[in-house]
Chains A and B, each alone.
Chain A
Amino acid sequence: MKRVSTFKIRIPHQLQIALMAIAFGMLIAAVLIVITGNNPFSAYWFLFRGGLMSIKRIGNTLAGATTLILTGLSVAFAFRTGLFNIGAAGQMLFGGFVATALGLTLNLPKAILLPVMMLGAMLGGAFWGFIPGLLKAKFNVHEVVATIMMNFIALWIAYYGIQDTILKDPNQETQSARLPVEASLQVDWLRDITGNSFLNLGLIIAIIFVVIIAIIINKTVLGYQLKAAGYNRFAAEYAGMKVNRNIILSMAIAGALAGLAGFTFYAGFSNHVEIGKLPIQGFDGIAVALLGGSTPVGALFAALFFGILQTGKGFMQSMTGVPPEVGDLIIGFILYGAACQILFERILKYFKRGRNA
């Protein structure tokens, strides 16, 4: 940077990559929209309007983003310790299942019930992360495989835990009973200021945890140790850090964050648990974390972006007839773009060299 141009804004490298990934995802999706005979510009116009055009829609975008912030945080946190938590979906489901079970069975005032449910969700999620952590630390079982297995174990435990018990909605085939008002994160004042949206207390929880996790990663001894293990497990071991304990701890914390995500989703957004499928937010969390450069604040913004896509896609469909899967397609290709990050790096380098020449 020898010449300082007043017009040039310096965008941090990580953000450049993220923006390129988004552009890549939207470009590919645009091509697919064209293939199906639609206009991508109007599709995207309505997609973003659908996510942002009114207070209510912004509220819904934030409510959708809430869960993604937490699953993204979960994946990002594990990443920093060198662990790939592909099990956020199972941890989220199990944590949400625990919270829902508590919410449907305990008869307590809201101010007590919600913290109890939150604790239950975190502990449930933490337990679901703890097991793969333990297997990794003690038996060197790869956490990717272990968390995939844990996802399906959670799927069936939640399925039968609801299907065959009092938790089931007597009138619905595939879901739990609705949570009562006392057990819901939805509150009147948030609904009122956002025109009856789904926005709930979960967002506040999510933001608090973004801050907490950012501090842990960047400022504390624990963060230093976790990152050291992530970068170089052998060096961390050599330096006398308890690497195995840290792996277990990291997976448990990641699980707790995903469990929280389940709490905000099942007790904040939908108010019931749908059984027989893994929550897609758990997998989207991987894209959130990667797009956010595995930093908490990055995950926050990436989740907000995805929240817009999720909220706007229905509106886009009704206005243009473009299938709502466009939103998921963009996310999928952003994820693929994140895998192909090296390609973007090369393109960036190429352009930089071209400019300097």
Chain B
Amino acid sequence: MEKIIEMQNIRKEFPGIVANDNVTLGLRKGEVHALLGENGAGKSTLMSILFGLYQPDAGQIVVRGEPVQIKNPTMANNLGIGMVHQHFKLVHNFTVTENIILGMEPMNGIAIDRKGAALKIKELSQQYGLDVDPYAKIEDISVGMQQRVEILKMLYRDAEILIFDEPTAVLTPQEIHELMKIMRSLLKEGKSIILITHKLKEIKEVADRCTVIRRGKVIGTVDVKDTTEAKMAEMMVGREVSFHVEKGESNPGEIALEVKDLVVMGTRGEEAVKSFSFQLRRGEILGIAGVDGNGQAQLVEALTGLRKVESGVISLAGKDIAGLNIKERFEAGLAHIPEDRQKRGLVLDYSIEENMILEIHQNEPFSRMGFLQFDEIRNYSERLIKEFDVRSGEGSIAKARALSGGNQQKAIVGREISHNPEVLIAVQPTRGLDVGSIEYIHKRLVEQRDAGRAVLLVSLELDEILDLSDRVVVINSGTKVGEVITSETDENEVGLMMAGIEKGA
């Protein structure tokens, strides 16, 4: 079959790392070609090369049979290559039209022809069933709509090769469904698609072929219909992956955390969490499942004290903590593995030892009379580093910034577990990590459960929730849709609930 793009023997090195090593990828006209790999495997680098953001050190790119050098995104656009970035590149206070025409504005005399552009966008939108209002401002439309604007941007530029970078991460299940439909209609109009993802299910659903890369190297390209998810996972990781976390029966004890009728306001003054209730017992892991942006962040912030509780009760071991501040809640026995380890979890410019005492630096023996006790801090930190296998070049005095993502996360997990909390809130504890670190952290969380602690797991990865949790509470638009016992449910049921469809409805 005709190949519209061939990337041949691409090599790209960054200081200290070979991001792409002799990578070859061929995209056939009219196919969806998935690019599968773990975080840091080199998918993004490869696509950045195709999109002109980087120059390869070796190898060549052939587009429609012609060898080309793609020096910048504009050249990529001219070759008909467009990219939907994972983080949308849209100006929030511009209209849809303005965002789409930016950089190639149609003119009417000396002014921009906004009307003409809007008309053309309207037509494109109808042709592909996108249903986008050209005059809406970006900040007023949903994330799913914003993604469609990104797609329109490429279509407006007559792109024939569309690269989607992790497009479903921010979408609701219905929006994902819609996106798949849009992709099919794009194919029908003769476009070709590269889909970057680490979600096997999506590949199974929409892709024709799949190229797997691991540590910068191509492991192989397979026909999706001839393979299984397990096979692709094995290619991705390099060994057989057990999808299931080893864990025994849970042994729930008394109630550790009880949330009743919790209401939390969002940043824009909307009700982000609505009358939310659940119970968490000692010795169990309770998962909170939901699509990104459905109130989980606000729920966690309200539980940990980072955000004001509008009304409702949060009781920790029988004591209402809703009115306490962050520190008081910590002292009452709440520990928190935050969603974003670099933004919240660590002070990157502090050493590991300084990070290890982040919450307890005011306590003896780490400080006395307002003065830090550096020997005590060092001893404590070194104990934790050993216990939780945090690897760094210089040990305790290494800057947190110098650690790999996995080791940063291990440091945080170790720090929080070492506080011996009543309740451990783990938010996206394995986001962006390699499989080895993921397994390690999962094991540690189950250990906490087995030691009789209560663990609240908030994750956007449904697989993680179902693997780890004993019970699952599903959140949609800030409302509790329902609660299920993991062993009695399946992905379909929870997926539907995430979409807001109540159990049994």
Q: Do any beta carbons of A and B sit within 8 angstroms of each other in the complex?
A: yes
A225 to B306, CA, bound (A): 17
Additional pairs, 6, CB under 8 Å, beyond known A228-B347, A235-B345, A235-B358? A227-B350, A232-B343, A232-B348, A236-B347, A238-B338, A240-B359
A221 B361 Cβ-Cβ under 8 A: yes
A220 at the interface (CB under 8 A from B): yes
- Return the 10 tightest CB-CB contacts between A and B, nearest first: A240-B327, A240-B326, A239-B358, A238-B344, A231-B349, A232-B347, A239-B359, A231-B347, A235-B347, A234-B344
Chain A positions within 8 Å of B, measured between CB atoms, are: 219-222, 224-225, 227-228, 231-232, 234-241
A231-B348, A231-B350 given; A238·B306 CB < 8 A: yes
A117 to B371, CA, bound (A): 30
Q: Which of B326-365 contact A (CB under 8 A)?
A: 326-327, 329-330, 336, 338, 343-350, 354, 358-359, 361-362
In the complex formed, the residue of A with least CB distance to B343 is A234
B311 at the interface (CB under 8 A from A): no
A95 to B347, CA, bound (A): 35
The 8 A CB mask of B361-379 against A (1 = contact, 0 = none) is 1100001001110000000
A240 to B361, CA, bound (A): 11
Q: Could you write out 28 A-B pairs with CB less than 8 Å apart?
A: A219-B372, A220-B370, A220-B371, A220-B372, A221-B367, A221-B372, A224-B354, A224-B361, A227-B350, A228-B347, A231-B347, A231-B348, A232-B346, A234-B343, A235-B343, A235-B344, A235-B346, A235-B347, A235-B358, A238-B306, A238-B344, A238-B345, A239-B326, A239-B359, A240-B325, A240-B327, A240-B330, A240-B359
B350 A228 Cβ-Cβ under 8 A: yes
Residues of A within 8 A of B349 (CB): 231-232
A227 to B306, CA, bound (A): 20
- Chain B interface size range: 20 to 34
B370 A222 Cβ-Cβ under 8 A: yes
A231-B348, A234-B344, A238-B338 given; A224·B326 CB < 8 A: no
Could you tell me the distance in whole angstroms from the C-beta of A234 to the nearest C-beta in chain B? 5
Could you tell me the distance in whole angstroms from the C-beta of B335 to the nearest C-beta in chain A? 11
Residues of A within 8 A of B358 (CB): 228, 235, 238-239
A353 to B362, CA, bound (A): 44
Residues of A within 8 A of B362 (CB): 221
B359 A224 Cβ-Cβ under 8 A: no
A69 to B347, CA, bound (A): 29
A239 to B347, CA, bound (A): 10
Residues of A within 8 A of B370 (CB): 220-222
In the complex formed, the residue of A with least CB distance to B354 is A224
In the complex formed, the residue of A with least CB distance to B357 is A224
A228 to B347, CA, bound (A): 7
Residues of B within 8 A of A228 (CB): 347, 350, 358
Residues of A within 8 A of B372 (CB): 219-221, 224
Could you tell me the distance in whole angstroms from the C-beta of A121 to the nearest C-beta in chain B? 25
A219 to B349, CA, bound (A): 17
Could you tell me the distance in whole angstroms from the C-beta of A277 to the nearest C-beta in chain B? 38
A219 B343 Cβ-Cβ under 8 A: no
B361 A237 Cβ-Cβ under 8 A: no
A239 to B305, CA, bound (A): 11
Residues of A within 8 A of B329 (CB): 240
A231 to B344, CA, bound (A): 11
Could you tell me the distance in whole angstroms from the C-beta of B468 to the nearest C-beta in chain A? 23
A219 to B372, CA, bound (A): 6
A220 to B359, CA, bound (A): 15
In the complex formed, the residue of A with least CB distance to B355 is A235
Which of A227, A234, A237, A240 neighbours the largest number of chain B CB atoms within 10 Å of its CB?
A240
Residues of B within 8 A of A227 (CB): 350
Residues of B within 8 A of A240 (CB): 305, 325-327, 329-330, 359
Could you tell me the distance in whole angstroms from the C-beta of A349 to the nearest C-beta in chain B? 12
In the complex formed, the residue of A with least CB distance to B368 is A221
A236 to B306, CA, bound (A): 11
A63 to B336, CA, bound (A): 52
Could you tell me the distance in whole angstroms from the C-beta of B499 to the nearest C-beta in chain A? 31
Could you tell me the distance in whole angstroms from the C-beta of A231 to the nearest C-beta in chain B? 4
A238 B336 Cβ-Cβ under 8 A: yes
In the complex formed, the residue of A with least CB distance to B358 is A239
A240 to B347, CA, bound (A): 13
Which of A222, A228, A232 neighbours the largest number of chain B CB atoms within 10 Å of its CB?
A232
B348 A238 Cβ-Cβ under 8 A: no
Could you tell me the distance in whole angstroms from the C-beta of A258 to the nearest C-beta in chain B? 24
B347 A237 Cβ-Cβ under 8 A: no
Could you tell me the distance in whole angstroms from the C-beta of B337 to the nearest C-beta in chain A? 10
A234 to B358, CA, bound (A): 12
A219 to B304, CA, bound (A): 29
A228-B347, A231-B349 given; A238·B326 CB < 8 A: yes
Residues of A within 8 A of B371 (CB): 219-221
Residues of A within 8 A of B338 (CB): 238
In the complex formed, the residue of B with least CB distance to A228 is B347
Q: Which of B302-323 contact A (CB under 8 A)?
A: 304-306
A220 to B366, CA, bound (A): 11
Residues of B within 8 A of A238 (CB): 304, 306, 326, 336, 338, 344-345, 358
Residues of B within 8 A of A236 (CB): 347
In the complex formed, the residue of B with least CB distance to A238 is B344
In the complex formed, the residue of B with least CB distance to A241 is B327
Could you tell me the distance in whole angstroms from the C-beta of A219 to the nearest C-beta in chain B? 6
Residues of B within 8 A of A231 (CB): 347-350
A239 to B336, CA, bound (A): 9
Which of A221, A222, A236 neighbours the largest number of chain B CB atoms within 10 Å of its CB?
A221
B367 A237 Cβ-Cβ under 8 A: no
Residues of A within 8 A of B336 (CB): 238
Could you tell me the distance in whole angstroms from the C-beta of A192 to the nearest C-beta in chain B? 40
Residues of A within 8 A of B305 (CB): 240
Residues of A within 8 A of B344 (CB): 234-235, 237-238
Residues of B within 8 A of A234 (CB): 343-344
Residues of B within 8 A of A237 (CB): 306, 326, 344
Could you tell me the distance in whole angstroms from the C-beta of A209 to the nearest C-beta in chain B? 18
Could you tell me the distance in whole angstroms from the C-beta of B367 to the nearest C-beta in chain A? 5
A222 to B362, CA, bound (A): 9
Could you tell me the distance in whole angstroms from the C-beta of B422 to the nearest C-beta in chain A? 16
Which of A222, A232, A239 neighbours the largest number of chain B CB atoms within 10 Å of its CB?
A239
Could you tell me the distance in whole angstroms from the C-beta of A337 to the nearest C-beta in chain B? 23
A112 to B350, CA, bound (A): 44
A239 to B330, CA, bound (A): 9
Residues of B within 8 A of A235 (CB): 343-347, 358
Residues of A within 8 A of B327 (CB): 240-241
A107 to B380, CA, bound (A): 57
A212 to B358, CA, bound (A): 24
